[in-house]
Amino acid sequence: MKILVVDDFSTMRRIIKNLLRDLGFSNTQEADDGLTAFPMLQGADFDFLITDWNMPGMQGIDLLKAVRADAKLASLPVLMVTAESKRDQIVEAAQAGVNGYIVKPFTAQTLEEKIGKIFERIDA
Amino acid sequence: MEQKKDKYADCLEHAKALVVELEAKRYAEADTLLSGLSRLHENGLFQEIGKLTRELHDTLNNFESEPRISKLTALEIPDAKERLNHVITLTQNAANKTLSVVEETLPRSEQLKKKAINLKTEWDRFTNRDMQVEEFRGLSNEIDAFLQWTAINAVEIHKGLSDVMMAQDFQDLTGQIIKRVITLVQEVEDSLVGLIRITGKNNMGKSTVEVQKPGKDIEATGPQVPGLKRESEVVNGQDEVDDLLSSLGF
């Protein structure tokens, strides 16, 4: 499974990549904001997108909306991992079609749980 | 302009009358005319000062009523202090967590090295056929115990290293917080420049500070800082996120 990890902080990308490798997902790529991520998504067959919200350039919420608006990418599972924790933000992300929402700081267990749930629901 | 003309016309009249009175040596009348003249001059001066005072008052009022400035001083500077304190807490927690794991893991690797070196010595004796059967039984048990111990400790070391890795999440969170404080400092700087500009003579009455306002529907607000929470708006941890999402049908 090919996963794109989008976060403007390289330390957080490394953390998420390492956690994913621990969970058995070693085919990951990185982008530092929505503007670089979106062409990558369009150009390659990613199976899963993990994105931050607050990034310079293009924010994660706008990336999510762009993905849902793109015919080819519309059904791509998207997990948000972000420090944004206002209720209306979570509602906004849900309405935009996010598949899971994790608030930072998070644990390895939370990530595993949410990814598991997302694919459970997709497989069902 | 018209007023100035009137003023000097008045002056001229007064002056002519003054000359007439002086030539006629009517000093009492001359004195009255003289004080009339100086009053004319003073009136102009007072008007100028009055005008300046009013302008200064207006510009200072404008400056104070600029909502961005009062928000900066009333809310955001104290918030920034809280944010920076929170950065200290986060970095301190991360450093402590990392050091604890290292302190716990170093002895494990030390023990691993010692046990492996001991076994290697014994094993070398065995491969050199320098070992009795009875002794080999003992070695065999030791090797068995070592393999079990290693399996257990490898799990612990892996867990420790994962904890060290997760502790590095402070960099993202503190980075976001510090970026916000930098933006705030920039705004304060702009405001101070604005203050200097409006108190400077050349730009008297000019409008105050221009502040960029983000035009997004939902603005990113960054990591939550304890003590700054607006209770109802913000979720408290992953459980509340899950509750909110499940209430939305997730």
pLDDT tens digit sequence for B196-221: 877 765 554 444 444 444 445 677 88
Which residue in B162, B171, B241 is closest to A9 by CB distance? B171
Q: Taking residues B184-193, what's their average pLDDT?
A: 86
- Interchain proximity A54–B220, CB inside 8 Å: yes
Q: What is the torsional sign of CA B196, B200, B202, B205? A: positive
What average pLDDT does the segment B5-9 reach? Answer: 72
Over 70: is that where the pLDDT of B230 sits? no
Residue A84 CA to residue A99 CA, distance in Å, equals 16
Q: What are the angstrom distances between the C-alpha of A34 and each of A4, A62, A118, B117?
A: 11, 7, 22, 52
**Mean pLDDT, chain B, whole residue set:** 84
pTM: 0.69
- For residue B126, the number of C-alpha atoms closer than 13 Å in the C-beta half-sphere is 15
Amino acid identity of A44?
Answer: A
Q: What residue type is assigned to position A105 of the chain?
A: P
CB A109 within 8 A of CB A91: no
Check B222 against A83: CB less than 8 A apart. yes
Question: pLDDT tier at B21 (50, 70, 90 boundaries)?
Answer: confident
Measured in angstroms, the CA of B242 and the nearest CA of chain A are apart by 8
Q: Nearest Cα to A47, choosing from A9, A105, A99, A113?
A: A99
Q: What CA–CA distances, in Å, run from A86 to A118, B80, B189, B237?
A: 22, 19, 29, 11
User: pLDDT value at position B1?
Assistant: 52
User: From edge to edge, which strands make up the β-sheet containing A28-31?
Assistant: A28-31, A3-6, A48-51, A78-82, A100-103
